A and B are shown apart, each in its own frame.
Chain A
Amino acid sequence: MNIKIIEDKEALKVTIECIRADEQISRLEAHIELFDYKIQAKRKGEACLVKAADVLYFEAVDNRTFLYTQAEVMEIKQRLYELELVLSHGDFIRISKSQIVNIQKISSLRPEINRTILLTMCNEEQLFVSRKYVKAFRKQLSI
């Protein structure tokens, strides 16, 4: 892959030149789009921007959506399905009806007796992949 950096006065622009726009190219495109993707969140009533890569997981509780980082919990405006549409091309995957997790922030996995998968996050928090989403989860990790 040849990478060229051209300095220009215009705004940041990334052009992908390829023979054929296949699956690999669309993955690359999705990664570039998510590279600097920031989510608007509320921290103690104040609006702030959080990098998607810093998020451990998203959770919907009582018609409200929260994002969890290493040490904080913040509320966001988007619904879970909206986040899923944007983030599922990157490292995020839905693990239950109410949760979307960042795969890069998982530290270990363990299959359970009831056919769910126990995820241990990098902050030692534990989440479950529900049975409905286990197949997609395993496919994503090529298990």
Chain B
Amino acid sequence: MNKKELIKFLIWMRNGVAFCTSWLLILWLIHNSIFNIENIATDSLMKMVLFAVGGVFIFSCVFTGVWIKKWRFLKRLNCFMVLFGIYEVTVFYCLGIGQEERRGGLAVYGIILISYLLCIIIYQLYEKKQGELYTQALRNYQQRNKRGTRDERKMV
């Protein structure tokens, strides 16, 4: 196992858990304020944190080179989407969300849809950046070879 990648994985885990837990808590508080719910149960908070940790773990495993080394970005993104979808449905089922209330099912589909849209945006940005890199490499090649041709013309 590469030490550098392992450190990267741990940093991503730390930052990801902090980020996701904060945002899930903020969203939960907004939800409770809207529906006038005054209390938050400790076990619900624990489950939320576990949900965040699991999601971030899947993300970090797929996008760092600790276990998967040679995959390209798109393959990693697809793998993450599939694993996260399965994980999310399993966790929601274990938490009892979506079994009784209609809202729970909507949350599952909502998260999948938002993740999907997010992936499309990420891929568009990635594609644009890659396109710029490829075009720059092309320019370098053209410059290099034009110089070569000029030398040959001088020579002839």
Do these two chains really belong together in a complex? Answer: yes
Q: Is the CB of B154 within 8 A of A113?
A: no
Report Cα–Cα, A109/B74, bound state, in Å: 18
B142 touches A108 (CB 8 A): no
Complex contacts, A110 vs chain B, CB 8 Å: 127, 130-131, 134-135
For window 124-141 of B, CB contacts with A under 8 Å fall at 127, 130-131, 133-135, 137-138, 140-141
B137 contacts which of A14, A31, A35, A143 (Cβ < 8 Å)? A143
The segment out of B27-35, B50-58, B143-151 that lies at the interface is: B143-151
Besides A103-B141, A110-B130, 11 other A-B contacts (C-beta < 8 A): A3-B155, A5-B155, A12-B156, A27-B148, A31-B148, A31-B149, A110-B131, A110-B134, A111-B127, A115-B72, A141-B137
* Interface class of chain B by DSSP: helix
Structural contact, B127 and A35, CB atoms closer than 8 A: no
Is there an interface contact between A35 and B142, defined as CB atoms closer than 8 Å? no
Using CB atoms, name the residue of chain B closest to A110: B131
Q: Which residues of A contact B (CB under 8 A)?
A: 1, 3, 5, 12, 14, 27-28, 31-32, 35, 91, 103-104, 106, 108-113, 115, 117, 140-143
Chain B: residues with Cβ within 8 Å of the partner, total of: 24
